Amino acid sequence: MARSSSQIRIISGEYGGRLIDAPKTNATHPMGERERSAIFNRLRDEVPGRRILDAFAGSGAIGIEALSLGASHVDFMEKHPKAIRTIQKNLVNLQLADRSTLVRVPDGDYGIIFADPPYDNPQYEIVASLIQHLVPGGYLVLSHPEAPAPPQFAYLELLSDKKYAAACIKIYRKI
């Protein structure tokens, strides 16, 4: 029987070294360890105690990494059924269900929003709509393909813009 998922390693914090499943589907693309490491090295001190949104969550690796580093709560926004089942399984296996929620649309305000939309359809209009849920001084982390480039986002200051193979990672702060 073919495996229905691959695995991703959590890189830091309380769950560092633990493996989680990633859905085996073209509808999602797990962010690599190198990119996740760079993001969390930059934002490590901003994560503890924050409410976070992992948009286009896929496996939930980014949100689980945030929980591992002390986020108070993570909402996982995902619509693909296989990805939703995978996130649920990962949260149960790590006993994180009480610090997380699966959502279809954002609910409330967030200190950090991670947005990693599918590269074949980056859905920048949805990313732009998420900004209203970001608290002043909060961070938006956007993973996107080189083309098409994201638009200028109102009320956001670009802090970092790095390229890792096919991934471009931008970190913004809401002003």
Domains of the chain: 5-174 (3.40.50.150)
- Provide mean pLDDT across the span 120-125: 92
Residue 121 has pLDDT above 80, yes or no: yes
The pLDDT, as a whole number, for residue 173 is 98
Tens digit of each residue's pLDDT (9 = 90 or more) over 51-88 = 999 999 999 999 999 999 999 999 999 999 999 999 99
**Confidence label for 3 from pLDDT (cuts 50, 70 and 90):** very low
Kindly report the pTM of this predicted structure: 0.93
Q: Give the whole-angstrom CA distance, residue 46 versus residue 15.
A: 18
Buried b / exposed e over 100-119, threshold 16 CB at 10 Å, is bebbeebeeebbbbbbbbee
Cβ distance 57 to 27 under 8 Å? no
Confidence band for 107, pLDDT divided at 50, 70 and 90: confident
pLDDT of residue 2: 41
**156, 140 in Cβ contact below 8 A?**
yes
**3-state DSSP assignment of residue 112:** strand
Higher pLDDT, 29 or 3: 29
pLDDT in tens, 19-40: 999 987 766 777 889 999 999 9
Region 119-139: mean pLDDT is: 95
Question: Please, what is the average pLDDT of the chain?
Answer: 93
